[in-house]
Structures are given as C-alpha cells and as structure tokens.
Amino acid sequence: MKDLSNETMLHVKKGNIEYLQFRKLLEYQDKVEHCYILKGKNNDYAKEEANNYIDLYNAMNLDIEGFTKIEHQAHSDIVEVVKEKQEFFTNIDGLLTNKQGISLSLRFADCTPILFYAPLKNAIGNIHSGWRGTVQKIGQKAAIKMMQEYGINKEDILCFLGPCIGKCHFEVGEDVKEIFANTFSYLGNSEDFIFKGANNEEKCKEQKYFIDTTLINRKLLEEIGIPSSHIIESNICTVCNSEQMHSYRAEKENAGRNTAIIGLR
C-alpha cells in the first residue's frame, strides 16, 4: 500500500492499524486527538460497536467510554451538541462538544468529513457532508452553531476538510448540476466549481458535469468569516485511492465505510 502522506496529511501505521491525520491538527495533540481510518484487515470496524475500537483508542490514548457515534447518518443539516458520555444520536449528521474525555465518531464513503477545532475554547466538531449535506450547508451551519454554543470567534476556528470524492470523479447529471448551480451561484462564478464532462453519444445522450464539493465547502466557511488559512484540505480523493479507503462511487453496494474520529483528551 502506498504512503498517502502529503503537505497537509500524515499517513500513520501503528501495528495493524493505519490512519490519516492532519499535520496542523497534530500541533494540538496534547489536547485533541483525531484520525481518518484506512482500509485494512483490522481497520474496517464493520460492526460499528464501540468495543471494536478498543485497540485504536488505546493506540491514540483516548477514553473508549467517551466514544460517541451517530446510529444513522441521514444526509441532513442537523448538528447536535454532546454534553456527556454515552449519549445516543440518530438521523443527524454532525456532533459538537467541549467536554474532555468525549470523542466524536462518524462514517464516510466519498462524503466529506469536516473536522473543527477551536484551541482557545478547546471545542471540537465532526460533520458528515455528502452532496446533499453540502447543498444544505451543514458545514457552515455547524461552524455557526459552534461559535454560538461556545462563544467562539470566527477567527479562532480551525477547519479540516477530509478525504472525499474529488472533482476528478464526482460526475453528475443535469439535475444535480442544476441544484448546485441554483444553490451556490451567489458564491461566485459557478464555473469555478462545476465543470463540463466529455459527452460520449454512444454511451449517454445526457451531458455530464463534475462538481468540486471541497471548494464549495471552503467558500461556505469563508462566507461566514473563517480565514482561508484556517481551512485545511486533505487533497486526497477517495475514489482515486479506493484500494486504501472505502468509496461508494468505486465499490457501489460493496463499499464499507471509513471512520473519522476527533476527541478531547
């Protein structure tokens, strides 16, 4: 398996466990820990049970009792605050907390993980933003809720856009293209984030388009005043690297899920 490390990401191997971490977020690892788990014999965590994460949590020095997940991620714009250990959530797509000992766990297969960390207030967020969540601006709404909930200034939030389907592979038809164009035209020239694809008449009469959801999420965060330098992208496409991470676009119904975790020590 190739090393996926780049300027913003670090590929970590600890025994049988492999995961990615943001280099910038590692600067705060005395207070916050995080990872994006890669495929592997011992990395799939298919049953989603907390006890499947014991080895990982031990490796990352996190408290397994603080494991918090969403039972069903619904491609919504709903974000909830975690106030204590062992809280139960379902049919939402984002979690926030400022409680030490709590970790936030969400699952992805091409959708965008958005991690938040506010060092001054020591608060975190974990957001699942698929294309429907992006259209509903869940990342932006989560950042606003985080600022309101914890009294955080927009200049004090760090935002991390994790591995997801890149503009190289997020191919859509006219219907989805129109949704994005109509929703985000106010952000600027739609040609910045919507690209025409080659139209092969032998295969399909419908014009295809490619969409850059990472850029859209960046623009949405910048729209509410978060400095551009505080928005860090993984620059890793899940489809391009489907041998090492789960991708619904590449694997269809056989796709597993990649787990992204962020937790306060």
Q: Is 0.75 topped by the overall pTM?
A: yes
The helix/strand/coil state of 176 is helix
Residue 108's beta-bridge partner residues?
258
**What is the CA angle 225-79-263, rounded to 5?**
85
Could you tell me where the beta strands, DSSP code E, fall in the chain? 9-14, 17-22, 32-37, 67-69, 79-81, 94-97, 103-108, 112-118, 123-129, 158-161, 171-172, 194-196, 209-211, 231-233, 258-264
Please give the Cα distance from 96 to 113 (Å, whole number).
13
The helix/strand/coil state of 143 is helix
**If you compute the radius of gyration of the chain from its CA atoms, what whole number of angstroms results?**
18
Residue 31 CB coordination number (10 Å): 12
Please give the Cα distance from 70 to 77 (Å, whole number).
14
Tell me the backbone φ, ψ of residue 21, rounded to 5 degrees: -140, 150
- pLDDT tens digits for range 176-217: 999 999 999 999 888 899 998 755 544 555 678 999 999 999
Q: 143, 163, 9: which is closest to 79 by C-alpha?
A: 143
> For every one of its 265 residues, what pLDDT tens digit does the chain have, with 9 covering 90 and above?
799 999 999 999 987 789 999 999 999 999 999 999 998 654 444 444 444 678 888 888 888 999 999 999 999 999 999 999 989 999 999 999 999 999 999 999 999 999 999 999 999 999 999 999 999 999 999 999 999 999 999 999 999 999 999 999 999 999 999 999 999 999 988 889 999 875 554 455 567 899 999 999 999 999 999 999 999 999 999 999 999 999 999 988 878 899 999 999 9
**Cβ contact 140:224 at 8 Å:** yes
Please give the Cα distance from 136 to 191 (Å, whole number).
20
Domain locations in the chain as residue ranges: 9-153+242-264
Q: 131, 115, 123: which is closest to 151 by C-alpha?
A: 123
What class does CATH assign to 9-153+242-264?
A: alpha beta
